[in-house]
Chain A
Amino acid sequence: MTRPGATGPLLDVTGLGVRSAGGHDLVSGLTFGIEPGSRLGLIGESGSGKSLTALAIMGLLPPGMAASGSIVLDVPGAGPAQIVGAAERRLRGVRGRAASVVFQEPLTALDPLMKVGRQLAEPIRRRRGLRGAALRAAVADALAEVRLPEPGRIARAYPHEISGGQRQRVAIAMALACEPALLIADEPTTALDVTVQAEVLALLDGLVAARGMALLFISHDLAVVSGITDRILVLKDGRAVESGTARQVVNAPSHPYTRALVAGARHLDSALDWKAR
């Protein structure tokens, strides 16, 4: 592959495959890249391999699953890091700083036995080396940045004591605490109510723009993805079937599968066009 100098993509996925312990190919031949500060949407239905792709990029595939091909995270100043086949030690240095992830269900991402403030303090301490009062102030700032009301109260709460939307904001704060160059959001609003979803999407949009982060946004929801990303990659049965700008994919899908997906989404979407009737 030809890459001019140091201005290569932040994330370069080439021929990625994920195989299950039983020998099934769950993801195959997947190739895409994300430039620094750009946004890519990964869309697909259940079983399309989109979440496995996110886990593979983080080096977090479940035991028994094996990745093949190449995943290179190239953070300016840190040098390119090959994720596939890398040792856990090496991955720990990459996770957080190069890429961090927000999952669908914040309850599974947060430790139920640890107060929110302490959980959030951990990555901030590791990344910025803060202690004591400075660390507490940084935690309060991080909670305020994701627009949580009463950061003091939230910091002292256990995850079950705050709402689902608040938990997801905490999970976003934790993902951002390491100042990643790439934020991976895996169905981050699917478990949320629609009004909360709108707020969390607006928050993510603003934070990603303000920090100049790159975003890999994974979802089954075409409307959500086309609202927050510039480009879309459509996955089906572990393979990319189509890619293009969000507008291209939604307005002029070329692959039959994408056409069916868009038709379904369009059908539901147009049910809300009361004025057109």
Chain B
Amino acid sequence: MTQRPPDVPFSAVPGSAPDAPSSAVPAATPGSAPDATARSGAGAVEPGPGAAAPPILEAREAGFAYRGGAPALSDVSVQVLAGRSTALVGESGAGKTTLLRLLLGLARPTSGRVLFDGAPLSPRDRAQMRAFRRSVQMVFQDPYSSLDPRQRVGRIVAEPLRSLGLVPPGRRGASAAELRVAAALEAVGLPPDAAHRYPHEFSGGQRQRIAIARATVCEPRVLLADEPVSALDVSTRVRVIDLLAELRDSNGLTIVMVSHDLAVVALLCEYTAVLERGRVVEQGETAAVLGSPRHPYTRRLIDSVPRLPARP
């Protein structure tokens, strides 16, 4: 593992605060600037509102480089606070999916750390990983490739319950699982008989609902979603966004979403981190970041979104 020297200069971020010195302990720098809690510059981390509870997930000065390659991610510090749905925004190659993989424990940072409930996430710690999988679940972009075509929906949705040992084995467990699967399917707006059918019998939007039911059946605290609606048609997209918002509001689910679609981000996430070429160039409240962007790249991103003609 290579620890980046603390004083290596990083590409200047014009128009915004320079990177916080990466040697600083993030928690030791409480907001000195008046709006530090609303928004912070690249790499800076503000303490969460409830300083007592650590963030559920945190990347702390995290970097990632594929062997022999240029870093895909450099010095990224982002906190996922309970109840604060967070968007990781950027274009292809920005490193947002790499960051998501680090936050999921699917890859280890080559520098810096990823913390779960304040403790370093270590995929070899089986007890921690069990607690982690219970708390953090995932929805993927493509609802056609993320569901096993040979399994019935009921079995697909029940998978986390079985693999996490949340239902006892045998007959009793099976009926307990059935009840929870039925509740999860109902929560995502699918009919009860969906459990007995196969994925190919459903449309793209319905499949994404199945994926969301699978991810939420074990009542996780965090739902990590990689472009969850970008493969869907507009009307379906709006309905799945509504569903995610409903789960967020009624079940206290914190959504962490990777997206290039700023409208979806604005509808679902209160907090936004903008990535460009492996670095966070701007992060803060979504309304501040997207409503009055400071970094030129954020501005360019917003100005590039095709807009409908103004209402007469």
A114 at the interface (CB under 8 A from B): no
A124 to B309, CA, bound (A): 38
Could you say which residues of chain B place their CB within 8 Å of the CB of A251?
309, 311-312
Partner of A194, one of B91, B235, B266, B290: B91
Q: Is the CB of A265 within 8 A of B287?
A: no
14 contacts between A and B (CB under 8 A): A46-B233, A194-B262, A194-B305, A195-B304, A197-B306, A198-B306, A223-B308, A246-B309, A251-B309, A268-B234, A268-B267, A269-B308, A272-B262, A272-B305
B171 at the interface (CB under 8 A from A): no
Q: Is the CB of A268 within 8 A of B264?
A: yes
CB distance from B112 to the nearest CB of A (A): 26
- Given the known inter-chain contacts A195-B300, A220-B233, A220-B234, please indicate yes or no for A272 contacting B312, CB distance below 8 A: no
Query: Measuring CB to CB, which residues of chain A are less than 8 angstroms from any residue of chain B?
Result: 45-46, 164, 193-198, 201, 220-224, 226-227, 246-247, 250-251, 260-261, 264-269, 271-272, 274-275, 277
Q: Is the CB of B91 within 8 A of A195?
A: yes
- Given the known inter-chain contacts A220-B234, A272-B290, please indicate yes or no for A250 contacting B305, CB distance below 8 A: no
- Given the known inter-chain contacts A246-B309, A272-B305, please indicate yes or no for A264 contacting B238, CB distance below 8 A: yes
- Given the known inter-chain contacts A195-B300, A274-B287, please indicate yes or no for A261 contacting B263, CB distance below 8 A: no
Q: Report the nearest B residue to A196, measured CB to CB.
A: B91
Could you say which residues of chain B place their CB within 8 Å of the CB of A45?
233-235
B303 at the interface (CB under 8 A from A): yes
Q: Is the CB of A261 within 8 A of B235?
A: yes
Q: Is the CB of A272 within 8 A of B266?
A: yes
Could you say which residues of chain B place their CB within 8 Å of the CB of A46?
204, 233
Q: Report the nearest A residue to B303, measured CB to CB.
A: A198
B307 at the interface (CB under 8 A from A): yes
Could you say which residues of chain B place their CB within 8 Å of the CB of A268?
234, 237-238, 263-264, 267
Q: Report the nearest A residue to B265, measured CB to CB.
A: A271
A221 to B302, CA, bound (A): 17
Could you say which residues of chain B place their CB within 8 Å of the CB of A274?
287, 290-292
A246 to B307, CA, bound (A): 13
A265 to B292, CA, bound (A): 23
Could you say which residues of chain A place their CB within 8 Å of the CB of B290?
272, 274
B92 at the interface (CB under 8 A from A): yes
Q: Report the nearest B residue to A194, measured CB to CB.
A: B304
Q: Is the CB of A224 within 8 A of B235?
A: no
B301 at the interface (CB under 8 A from A): yes
Could you say which residues of chain A place their CB within 8 Å of the CB of B302?
272
Q: Report the nearest B residue to A269, measured CB to CB.
A: B308
CB distance from A264 to the nearest CB of B (A): 4
B260 at the interface (CB under 8 A from A): yes
CB distance from A46 to the nearest CB of B (A): 6
- Given the known inter-chain contacts A45-B233, A260-B235, A264-B234, please indicate yes or no for A271 contacting B266, CB distance below 8 A: yes
A71 to B266, CA, bound (A): 44
A277 to B292, CA, bound (A): 13
A46 to B233, CA, bound (A): 7
Q: Is the CB of A194 within 8 A of B301?
A: yes
A195 to B297, CA, bound (A): 10
Could you say which residues of chain B place their CB within 8 Å of the CB of A220?
233-234
Q: Is the CB of B301 within 8 A of A195?
A: yes
Could you say which residues of chain A place their CB within 8 Å of the CB of B237?
264, 268
CB distance from B31 to the nearest CB of A (A): 23
A264 to B301, CA, bound (A): 22
Could you say which residues of chain B place their CB within 8 Å of the CB of A194?
91, 260, 262, 301, 304-305
A89 to B285, CA, bound (A): 61
CB distance from A235 to the nearest CB of B (A): 13
Could you say which residues of chain B place their CB within 8 Å of the CB of A272?
262-263, 266, 290, 302, 305, 307
A224 to B307, CA, bound (A): 7
Could you say which residues of chain A place their CB within 8 Å of the CB of B264?
268, 271
Q: Report the nearest B residue to A227, measured CB to CB.
A: B306
Q: Is the CB of A271 within 8 A of B235?
A: no
C-beta contact mask, B262-292 vs A, less than 8 Å → 1, else 0?
Answer: 1110110000000000000000000100111
Q: Is the CB of A266 within 8 A of B291?
A: no
The 10 closest A-B pairs by CB, nearest first: A274-B291, A193-B91, A198-B304, A223-B306, A45-B233, A268-B263, A271-B266, A264-B234, A195-B304, A264-B238
Could you say which residues of chain A place their CB within 8 Å of the CB of B204?
46
CB distance from B309 to the nearest CB of A (A): 6
Could you say which residues of chain B place their CB within 8 Å of the CB of A222?
234, 308
CB distance from A34 to the nearest CB of B (A): 21
